[in-house]
Amino acid sequence: MRKFFITLLLILLIGGAVSAYFGYQMFYGPAVAEDFTVRITPRTDYELVLNKIRSNSKYNFAFEFYADYLDLEHSLRSGTFLIEKDMSVMTIVRTLKYGESKTLRLTINNARTPEALARKIAAKTNISEEEMLRTLRDTTLVKEFGFNSAEEMFSIFIPNTYEVFCDIEARDLVLKFKEESDKFWATSSRKEGLKRLGFTPLEVMTLASIVHEETNAQSEMARIAGVYINRLNKNMLLQADPTVKYALGDPSIKRILKRHLKVESPYNTYIHEGLPPAPIAMPDVVAIDAVLNYEEHDYLYFCARPEFDGKHNFARTLSEHEVNAKAYHDALNKRKIKK
């Protein structure tokens, strides 16, 4: 009998040890085989969170038990949370309840086309270049935002650094940029600028893109914008060289020749009146605000200075402009810049 009780005691002790081991493993042992993210918004259903955990980890009973213990269902926070390989059940629950959202800082600027923008975004996120470009050209989104083309929709992208979820999808990213664009144009100073001009945000972005391409000298941008406003008000052709480069698809051209001016394109402002159909680049905020706060003057022409210092000479009459233009072309010839 004594031997029986000793054997039973050993069995109970071993069983308890095994149970304790497995209990420990369920709560403290590795529960995740590979990294994954859980994205939570104010509209996320708790059951969806549970399903995401269930499909990517083991010890689901232990997870749900500890989640109930910490009242996770009623304390979810919005964000994207990284669940890393070998995390335990307890760490997973505490990450969702107390951890930091996993986001990245995405900077967009200096993109001339949707293709260039797609490349920049793909280089910084998990979105492929192909998927991003498809979304930038999504006709449903184009119409939803009130535009006629993807080139027009390109105007919603305001250069800045944005914080986005690591696993953000292409469509959600475009929606975020539209939201940020709406906020940008909702400021009182910009609303006043739009009213002063009688322009839409698309038209401002289009003119700002030309100003942006014309000069790197921020001190000149409002004056250059004023030249174009004057020409528009007088129904003159804008005759903006950057639009010719855009029409030719070659921004590297250093010297615009007469044959370049004849290229047939709605973007060529040497042969088509008014603004181009859409921006020819992504203008920076300085250029945008320079258009909204353009300098009032009576200049109708400007030409790069022969000193090649990045600045321009301005003229009120064609004869004055021709003198400035000759000086600049003589400087090009002297430097043997042919194209």
Higher pLDDT, 228 or 256: 228
The answer to whether 77 touches 69, Cβ cutoff 8 Å, is no
Digit-coded pLDDT (tens) for 183-233: 999 999 999 999 999 999 999 999 999 999 999 899 999 999 999 999 999
Main-chain phi, psi angles of 90, to 5 degrees: -65, -40
| Model confidence band, residue 17 (pLDDT cutoffs 50, 70, 90) | very low
Q: What's the token pair of residue 232?
A: 């528009």
**Euclidean distance between CA atoms 249 and 51, whole angstroms:** 49
Assess whether pLDDT exceeds 90 at residue 159.
yes
| Distances in whole angstroms, Cα of residue 266 to Cα of each of 204, 259, 277 | 18, 16, 7
Q: Which residues contact residue 9 at a Cβ distance below 8 angstroms, ignoring those fewer than 6 apart?
A: none
Digit-coded pLDDT (tens) for 71-118: 988 888 877 788 888 888 888 888 888 876 677 788 999 888 999 999
pTM of the predicted structure, to 2 decimals: 0.73
Exposure string of 224-236, with b = 16+ CB inside 10 Å and e = fewer, is bbbbbbbbbeeee
- Averaged pLDDT, 287-292: 97
